[in-house]
Amino acid sequence: MTAPRGPGKKWLNLALLAAACLYVLFTLGSLLGRGLFETVGGDYRAFRSSAQIATQVGFAQVYDLDLQEQYQRALYDAYARIPVLYMTVPAPLLPPFILIFVPLLLLPPLPGLIAWTVLQVLLLWLYLRRFLGALEGFEERGVFALLLCSFPLFWNLLFGQINLFLLIFVGEFLLAYLRGREIVSGLWLGGLLLKPQALILLLPGLLLRRSFKALAGFGLAGLAVLGLSLLLGGPEGLIALGRLILGYAEGLQTNVPQFMVNWRALALNLGELIPAPIAWGVAIAGMLLTAGVALAFWLRPRQSSPTQFGLVLLGTYAATCAVTWHSHIQMTLPLVVLLLFLESRGQVDRRLLIAWALVPAAVYFAALLPLPAIPQRLTGFSMLVLNLYLVYRAARQLWSAEPERGAGLAEGWTY
């Protein structure tokens, strides 16, 4: 197989520079127009307020939206520039994940947000070095710069979100599983309880594959998270979190499901143009087909090659983002490590990663000026299309490929 090729370095550098400039201008425009903790740091506002509530009132009270409003409104009003529609942002995180933000309370709000952003960029750089170092013969070739300018990462950093941890958990799950350390891989998979909707196809897939050790590892991680959650928030905290999650399913003000990257968003947006039953019929059919294809990947023999397992995981996570009920563009970040793994094995072209990183940015900024009301809707749709293409690509390569064996990872990995 020939080595993957990408676009000319000059044009790619220009595209990355243009994206970086647009990100800076957009961020400055948001700060000057609306202030801090409205768009910029909007989700960090919820996480910081949750840490304050947890340490001052108790973890069980974090999911009380009235109490959240008291804490968030004070932070919001202190940094707002012009009156805009205030919305309380929920933080549906299990108590152990709220602990991540407690040390940031040592800093004032603005330095805390800056520190959180810098920490995530540094974490991405360090983890990419670790992950790429585990791939045999992989040349970095500006991967960090590309990902730093990717729209999903920008959106994650802009709002102060936490999805970068999903990238690390999925990357470590992949490496541990391919090294035959299935229990350890399951422990890493437990980290996806940060966003439990990321597990809706992965867990059934592991069951279909009869990967009981990985499921046992996940069970151990789940019990640890549950035990710590009960210790911190008690049963009342978990009950309150359950009610909040049900509210998410029904639709909260800050959910903006029309902006998501899933079939649900397509149904809602399409329902404004055609009768809603038809729109939902299309979306439900799409959900069932996408989920069915992804689960069928896991019926392959357990003796399939590392490359084939990478394709299974890529198709499954891309399908998850399309099928799950709550899925914003930031949730797609784990696809980075899966695409890099498959590129290292000559299965995908770098242009596919570039398209995943930059096409949503092009769509968003192209629509921002002439169509200010719908750029996020179009951006979400573009990412849905890209994810469905990844599912198709995985299916085509899996179901047409000959069994493959061979070297996989550095550090003495054997198959």
Average pLDDT over residues 52-66: 94
Which residues pair with residue 80 across a beta bridge?
35
pLDDT tier for residue 407 given thresholds of 50, 70 and 90 = very low
pLDDT above 70 for 266: yes
Measuring CA to CA, how many Å separate 111 from each of 45, 80, 147, 410? 13, 16, 24, 39
Average pLDDT over residues 144-159: 93
Distance CA(86)–CA(68), nearest Å, equals: 13
pTM score: 0.92
322-334 per-residue burial string, b: 16 or more CB within 10 A, e: under 16? bbbbbbbbbbbbb
pLDDT above 90 for 372: no
pLDDT tier for residue 250 given thresholds of 50, 70 and 90 = low
Q: Which amino acid is at 356?
A: W
